[in-house]
Chains A and B, each alone.
Chain A
Amino acid sequence: MFREPRRIRAGFACSFILLISLFGSGCATAYVDGALRNVSPEQIRKPSRPQDVQLLFTFQTKGTTNAKVTEALESEVTAAVAASGIFATLGEAPALSGATLHIVINNVPLDDAVFAKGFATGLTFGLVGSAVTDGYICTVDFVSPGGARVTKKLRHAIHTTIGAKGAPANAVKAKNLDEAAHTMTRQVTTAALKELADDPVFK
């Protein structure tokens, strides 16, 4: 007679433990990959006569525009372009010079087994740690008023560990995921702008 309620209770107990283990198995730690050489704005060659430019920025997730993240990182990209000093002024409206700078950062997964790894970490209360790497491809596309076009493409990455997993090699620990995303954006944008400024077509 009491077997059925006991089974229900046991079932819910198992569900509860599973959920706690899934969602409470430890915090994620973010690391910004160290392979991309850190470029400071001072290292960027400045043109003799910087021109105005219209800046457009898009953040994509697997090639699809991610409007929320675009909004979140837009100021970081604008600040990086302004700090580079290779343009006189920049804005969202068409520039008087007619020049356009389009920056796209595309988040591409480098690991398809993300969910399986996270599930294993959750089930073992974090004893089996997991690490996931997100790749970012930054494309800087400059079109000058004369129609000359310069495109530069650079890659960066953020590593995230959950549970008992050591720090990835050659990576810098970030305070949180938000800081990692902003650091990655600043670094990859500045490095791509240096390549743009070094291109002989860009004047």
Chain B
Amino acid sequence: MKFVTIGLLVVCSLFAGCASQRIGAHQASIDNIQLLRQSSASGFAVGEFKPAPDAPSPADKVVTVRGSRLTSPSSDSFASYLRDALVVDLEAAGKYDPASALTISGQLTRNTLNAAGFSKADSTLAAKFSVARGGAIVFDKRIEEQQTWDSSFIGAVAIPEAINHYTEMYTKLLHRLFSDEEFRAATGK
């Protein structure tokens, strides 16, 4: 009986998969920087980012990949992570100006990561961005990014790949925002 217990303990400790980790800090992307530099707006302030009222609350706090919990390094909130990512890109492009009349705010409306499949994984990230110019809303739009990638049966391969792809979703979502024609028109001079 003792041997069975030890065996169970070993199996559980090695395969429990209940690890929790924070995703890495957002890195400024050269593509996003170039897009922002093409903007005629001299700078942007960044307002509040929060989960949408009708969004499922755990999606702002945690996403899971095969039992591993991923959390945000920005106040334990993925909406805050999106805000910080936006600030990083704006700063790197020289377009961050807390005193600007143009303020970008957002609501995280969708945040999913699915890497349970043996050969494919996917993620969806969506946010409702709004831009105010001197208090008046000039842009209000939901923008969504979806990605599918080749995954693996082996968790040791699938989990790190899912984390990398998930983290990159924020860069891609912001790229969609910066390249959005309506956003460019609304924020131009």
Contacts and interface: CB of A to CB of B under 8 A. Distances in A.
B28 A92 contact: yes
B136 to A, nearest CB: 29
Given A13-B3, A19-B14, A94-B94, A65 B168 contact: yes
B61 to A, nearest CB: 19
Contacts, number: 76
Interface residues of B, number: 33
Nearest to B154: A115
A100 B30 CA distance: 9
Contacts of A67: 23-27, 164, 167
A71 interface: yes
B11 A58 contact: no
Contacts of B10: 15-16, 19
A9 B3 CA distance: 7
Given A67-B27, A92-B28, A93-B92, A9 B171 contact: no
Nearest to A68: B24
A60 to B, nearest CB: 8
B27 A70 contact: yes
B171 A65 contact: yes
Contacts of B26: 67
B6 A16 contact: yes
Interface of A: 8-9, 12-13, 15-16, 19, 23, 54, 56-58, 61-62, 64-68, 70-71, 92-94, 100, 102, 115, 141
Interface of B: 3-4, 6-8, 10-11, 14, 23-30, 33, 91-94, 149, 154, 156-157, 160-161, 163-165, 167-168, 171
